[in-house]
Amino acid sequence: MQAFNSLAEAAFEAAETSPGDGNEPETYCLSEYFEVIVSKLLETTERPDGGQANLRSAAYEALMELVKNSPRDCYVWVQRTTMIILERLQHVLALEGHIQSSSDRAQYNDLQSLLCATLQSVLRKMTLEDAPKISDAVVAALLQMFSSSSGRAGGGVQEDALMTASTLVEVLGDKFVKYMDAFRPFLAIGLKNHAEYQVCSAAVGLTGDICRALGSQVLPFCDDVMTMLLENLGNNNVHRSVKPQILSVFGDIALAIGPEFKKFLEIVLQTLAQASVAYVDKHDYEMVEYLNDLREGCLEAYTGIVQGLKGDQNAPNADVQLLLPHVPHIISFISSIAIDSDHSDTNIASCAGLIGDLCTAFGGGVPRPRKRRHWPLGPPRRSRSSKAALHDERHVRACHFEPQGGAPGTRLSPWSGGPSSSLSVSIHG
């Protein structure tokens, strides 16, 4: 099966006229064999001995790779495969009531996971015109998965359903809004699932995807979501790996709802002030890596907030001035990253993007430094985050900031202690 994976990828790359431009080739050398290969792989997934030597999972993985690396002239078979996988998922869900043993349950969950992963792969190849035609059926299947797994140890199933929902959001864009009322209770269940942190992490990721897709249409759901996210940050039972993601989602929400984020601004800025001064044991590599993830979450949050309050117009929205008292702390945070030899490349790229956003938002209104200071940021680079804009180097050079301490009224301390505020945030979940 590994040979199919390599063959599909190599054939696709050979057919690309401009690799990396995101455009699919019209055809490739496997096109005339595509139907046969897909059919045989689908047959293999249903063989009676599919459970031996990981045969079934290998066949599904090969199918996913083949679909992922398919050209336009194979699209009709991508459509058919999508319907076959969806029908299989519906059939499997109908067997829920016939499970009699823990072994049956394990096999049932494994098959659900494979079908969800394959469904994600084929959904990503669907066109904007075709995806809405099957979205109702996909959502119905996902809601059934959520319902059947709620109230029992079904973390794996919930995680699969949440990740598939994220793919559907990615494909549908703002058209996903019609499903929000139905998804809302299950998103809340995922965000509150502290015992199975992979589920909570998937729910946080889905929240960010929804915000990016729906934009201002997400506003009616923000109060509940923000409450749950803030509660998770202060909960010691929430795994620490989830917390940087939550900070990043604050930026997604701010970008989505723009000036409406003002009602959350103060508590979020207090939270970021705590997180941005966290420290860890520098001899522990895993904790250093976690600290960089935490910093990245803060940077993405600040970037989203600045851009959201500033707005898209040439003249910055007046609401962005609400951030001005906090700019000295943001600059101090950027400086602390720049001089830390353990910072990540992504941190530095995001710092450069945030500096550019601050320059654009405040211009000459930024507090002037006492003296110029060179930071080892290097030239601005694009962050892997889509929210960190690439700014012209002259914009960065135009703002020679000087770290000037924390935000007014904030007593900075490690995140495990944090500033004096009504919110207690725990770094070590």
pLDDT tens for residues 111-123?
A: 999 999 999 999 9
**Mean per-residue pLDDT of the chain:** 85
pLDDT reading at 395 higher than 70: no
Question: Residue 367: its pLDDT value, please?
Answer: 62
Cα–Cα distance measured from residue 300 to residue 248, given in angstroms and rounded to the nearest whole number: 5
For helices 102-123 and 75-94, angle between their N-to-C axes, nearest 10 degrees:
160
Question: Residue 424: its pLDDT value, please?
Answer: 57
Question: Residue 312: its pLDDT value, please?
Answer: 81
Share of the chain above pLDDT 70, in %: 81
Cα–Cα distance measured from residue 253 to residue 385, given in angstroms and rounded to the nearest whole number: 15
Phi then psi for residue 154, to 5 deg, are: -130, 35
Residue 98, SS3 per DSSP: helix
pLDDT tens-place string over residues 137-177: 999 999 999 888 765 655 678 899 999 999 999 999 999 99
Question: Residue 19: its pLDDT value, please?
Answer: 63
Burial group, residue 243, by CB count within 10 angstroms (0-12, 13-18, 19+): buried
Question: Residue 151: its pLDDT value, please?
Answer: 59
Question: Residue 106: its pLDDT value, please?
Answer: 86
Band of pLDDT at residue 29, cut at 50, 70 and 90: very high
For tokens 């058919």, the residue is 80
pLDDT tens-place string over residues 285-343: 999 999 999 999 999 999 999 999 998 877 788 999 999 999 999 999 999 999 999 99
pLDDT tens-place string over residues 255-283: 999 999 999 999 999 999 999 999 899 99
Q: How many residues does the chain have?
A: 429
Band of pLDDT at residue 36, cut at 50, 70 and 90: very high
Contact in structure between 204 and 188 (CB atoms under 8 Å): no
Does the CA dihedral 225-358-353-413 come out positive or negative?
Answer: negative
Cα–Cα distance measured from residue 164 to residue 144, given in angstroms and rounded to the nearest whole number: 13
Half-sphere exposure of 33 toward its Cβ, with a 13 Å CA cutoff? 11
Question: Residue 222: its pLDDT value, please?
Answer: 97
Question: Residue 101: its pLDDT value, please?
Answer: 86
Token code pair at residue 383: 């962050």
Band of pLDDT at residue 365, cut at 50, 70 and 90: low
Question: Residue 273: its pLDDT value, please?
Answer: 96
pLDDT tens-place string over residues 46-93: 999 988 889 999 999 999 999 999 999 999 999 999 999 999 999 999
pLDDT tens-place string over residues 170-226: 999 999 999 999 999 999 999 999 999 999 999 999 999 999 999 999 999 999 999
Question: Residue 99: its pLDDT value, please?
Answer: 84
What are the start-end ranges of the H helices in 69-130?
A: 75-94, 102-123
pLDDT reading at 107 higher than 90: no
pLDDT reading at 227 higher than 90: yes
Closest CA to 154 of 108, 210, 120: 108
pLDDT reading at 420 higher than 80: no
Token code pair at residue 340: 């830390």
What string of DSSP letters covers 285-320? HHHHHHHHHHHHHHHHHHHHHHHHHH-SSSSPPGGG
Closest CA to 60 of 81, 45, 40: 45
